[in-house]
Amino acid sequence: MASSVSGLAKRRSAAEKKDRARYGEKRDRIIAAAGPVLEQVGLQGATVGAIAEAAGLDRASVYYYFPDKFALFRAAIHDGLREMFDALDIVAAETGPSADRLRRAIRIVLDVYERHYPYLYIYFREGVGSEIIDKNISAETVHSGVRYEEILLGIIEEGIDAGEFEEILPAKITVNNIVGMLNWTYTWFRPDGRLTGRDIADGMTDTLVAGLQPRSKSSSNGKSVKSRSRPGGR
């Protein structure tokens, strides 16, 4: 049995190298077809047979691309996170108004959530401690979460330092609010709903930027924490 699995893995690797475009197209087709199956019955309840049927393939074809459903799920998570951070790293390196960069960052996240639906949402729903979430997925998503918070923190702190944003709350708490707002969309956002991911991203950004706008000292309570120092001059 072990030798047959090893042989299949070798053929899978050889096929990927020989014709990456064709291999990638069918691989993506399987991942896309598996999404609705996983959304309906969950990762634990899904079977390779059901995924194959949804993709219009036989089980052997699915196994050719993925050794099991968990490998498929892991690949989908990885694809989404890689796409997200390829784009976010560009935003992090940009200059310009922080409000514009914040909008692009939020758009990127919700675009990926929508395009790779429901995979990242399944992860959020199941939670890090779930027995169906393996250590590799958990490690990658936790690392990505830290990186995303760092990017957002840089944008918010640069906006505060430039006088574009007011530090009503410590910048880190503002970032926690943004991340929580985005991650909790798993409880209500659906790609076939009235609003697209981009609509929601822009609405969220408009709300955030309005709240971060500098205000005069004669505002309702006049409270802010902008006088608090931050490490590294931020």
Confidence at residue 127, expressed as pLDDT on a 0 to 100 scale = 67
C-alpha 16/C-alpha 225 separation (Å) is: 54
- Do 40 and 78 fall into the same domain? no
C-alpha 82/C-alpha 123 separation (Å) is: 16
Length of the chain: 234
Residues with Cβ within 8 Å of residue 232, at least 6 apart in sequence: none
- Do 91 and 14 fall into the same domain? no
- Among 74-78, 138-142, 194-198, the range scoring the smallest mean pLDDT is 138-142
C-alpha 57/C-alpha 49 separation (Å) is: 9
- The count of structural domains within the chain is 2
- Do 170 and 229 fall into the same domain? yes
Confidence at residue 216, expressed as pLDDT on a 0 to 100 scale = 65
C-alpha 59/C-alpha 34 separation (Å) is: 12
Residue range 144-194, pLDDT digits in tens = 889 999 999 999 999 999 999 999 999 999 999 999 999 999 999 999 999
- Do 79 and 175 fall into the same domain? yes
Confidence at residue 17, expressed as pLDDT on a 0 to 100 scale = 57
C-alpha 61/C-alpha 14 separation (Å) is: 15
Torsion of CA 201, 207, 211, 212, to 10 degrees: 30
CATH of the domain at 20: 1.10.10
With 90 as the cut, is the pLDDT of residue 123 above it?
Answer: no
Confidence at residue 233, expressed as pLDDT on a 0 to 100 scale = 42
With 50 as the cut, is the pLDDT of residue 48 above it?
Answer: yes
- Do 62 and 100 fall into the same domain? no
- Do 56 and 73 fall into the same domain? no
CATH of the domain at 82: 1.10.357.10
**Amino acid at site 170:** P
Q: Is the peptide bond between 118 and the residue preceding it cis, with omega within 30 degrees of 0?
A: yes
- Do 63 and 73 fall into the same domain? no
pLDDT tier, 43 (very low <50, low <70, confident <90, very high otherwise): confident
Q: What percent of the chain has pLDDT over 70?
A: 80
Spell out a b/e string for 52-81, using b for 16 or more CB atoms within 10 Å of the CB, else e: bebbebeeeebbbbbeebbebbbbbbbbbb
Mean pLDDT, residues 33-62 taken together: 95
Q: Which of 8, 165, 182, 195 is nearest to 99 (CA)?
A: 165
- Tell me which of 67, 82, 111 is where a domain ends: 67
- Do 32 and 110 fall into the same domain? no
Residue range 54-82, pLDDT digits in tens = 999 999 999 999 999 999 998 999 999 99
Residue range 83-106, pLDDT digits in tens = 999 999 999 999 999 999 999 999
- Do 206 and 124 fall into the same domain? yes
**Summary mean pLDDT of the chain:** 86
pTM of the predicted protein model: 0.80
- Do 89 and 202 fall into the same domain? yes
- Tell me which of 67, 93, 111 is where a domain ends: 67
- Do 114 and 225 fall into the same domain? yes
With 70 as the cut, is the pLDDT of residue 6 above it?
Answer: no
Q: Which of 220, 105, 108 is nearest to 156 (CA)?
A: 105
- Do 108 and 222 fall into the same domain? yes
Domain span at 181: 69-233
| Residue with the larger pLDDT of the pair 128 and 186 | 186
| Vertex 51: Cα angle to 46 and 53 (nearest 5) | 130
